[in-house]
Chain A
Amino acid sequence: MSAPNTGTPLIGGPQPVASNNEDSPLNGVKVGVVTFPGSLDDRDAVRAVRLAGGSAIHLWHGDHDLQDVDAVIIPGGFSYGDYLRAGAISRFAPLMEQITAAASGGENALPVLGICNGFQVLTEAHLLPGSMIKNNDLHFICRDQRLRVENNGTFWTSDYGQGEEIVIPLKNQDGQFVADNYTLDELEGEGRVVFRYVDGNPNGSRRDIAGISNAAGNVVGLMPHPEHAVEAGFGPDSSARGNVDVRGGTDGLGIFTSVLKKLVG
């Protein structure tokens, strides 16, 4: 069964959501999007997967079944209200146990992307090093942010050029990435800094780091939101590729096409 293609913004329902293009070879790739109580951007992530040509599966944090998905996205928002620390309680959700085990599985490890709060969940789950503290000016920051793709060798960045710049929205309060110097040196030395802030560091993150990966490259987390820059008419007003129409920025789509192509190819 496939959802009707209405040509309008595609808001995912609770059922599996087929891609926009049923003939796409990427259509068979199933990407699970986890919803926690307090998740906000799960439906945007579902929509991004569809627009990239894949099929999206809604996953519930309280379930124990990954439903045979080929990849998982942990979306942005305020899971469990950010109580205690952002991501601290979500990390112990039943589904997170499945995800942590599958993501650490060596050769065929599950690709996992954490966006914003999802990144915070991944650090709390120890799938990624470091942690996030409040932005150094204490403000909630919401703006279009320019990033540089520092490593296009991961599951989630292979559709970008090495060093390519992108513009996607940034919106958070606890966005300052911190880790000790040993960890930072290790991340830099192993090419695990995946995204870096360009044109100014918005929140005090160590070494301008906006996103990182695990050693295998299947787990990536970033603070800005690629899923909000995937469809002309509904994206940011700017793009790193040149002038675009109002809300015409789609620089985030490559994150989602990367994992789909990687899993097919």
Chain B
Amino acid sequence: MPRIVVDVMPKPEILDPQGKAIAGALPRIGLTGFAGVRQGKRFELTVDGDVTEEVLEQARHAAATLLSNPVIEDVTRVEVLEEDAQ
């Protein structure tokens, strides 16, 4: 069944305490090549049938109303997973 992926990231101006903690842990396992980490969320919405424009619109609506909080987060991606679309 096809899946629609929704990515949600904390807004750039919002401090991301979790990302900061991860950034602090990386050097402890010897990985020093990174200047920063931000942690977001990925949702996979499985579609029963074809991904029509109407279903995509529903996914965008879900992303804007339930899956993200626009005060602190941005929706950075709503799209059909290519591997499913074949």
- A interface residues, Cβ below 8 angstroms from B: 84-85, 88-89, 92, 123-124, 129-131, 133-138, 176, 178-180, 204
Query: Are A131's CB and B72's CB within 8 A?
Result: yes
Which listed residue, A88, A92, A138, A180, touches B69 by the CB 8 Å rule?
A: A88
Given that A84-B66, A92-B66 are known contacts, is A134 also in contact with B71, CB under 8 Å in the complex?
no
**Cβ of A178 and Cβ of B66 under 8 Å apart?**
no
- CB <8 Å contact, A136 and B66: no
Given contacts A124-B69, A133-B15, A134-B17, 16 further A-B contacts (CB under 8 A): A84-B66, A88-B66, A89-B66, A129-B71, A130-B71, A131-B69, A134-B18, A135-B17, A136-B15, A137-B17, A138-B21, A176-B17, A178-B14, A178-B71, A178-B72, A204-B15
Whether the Cβ atoms of A85 and B15 lie closer than 8 Å is: no
Contact assessment for A133 and B72 in the assembled complex, using a CB-CB cutoff below 8 Å: yes
Q: What is the bound-complex CA distance between A130 and B69, given in angstroms? A: 10
CB-defined interface of B1-40 with A at 8 Å, one 1/0 digit per residue?
A: 0000000001001110110010000000000000000000
Interface residue SS majority, chain A: loop
What chain A residues lie within 8 Å of B66 (beta carbons)? 84, 88-89, 92
Contact B71 A138 (CB under 8 A): no
Is B67 in the interface zone, CB < 8 Å from A? yes
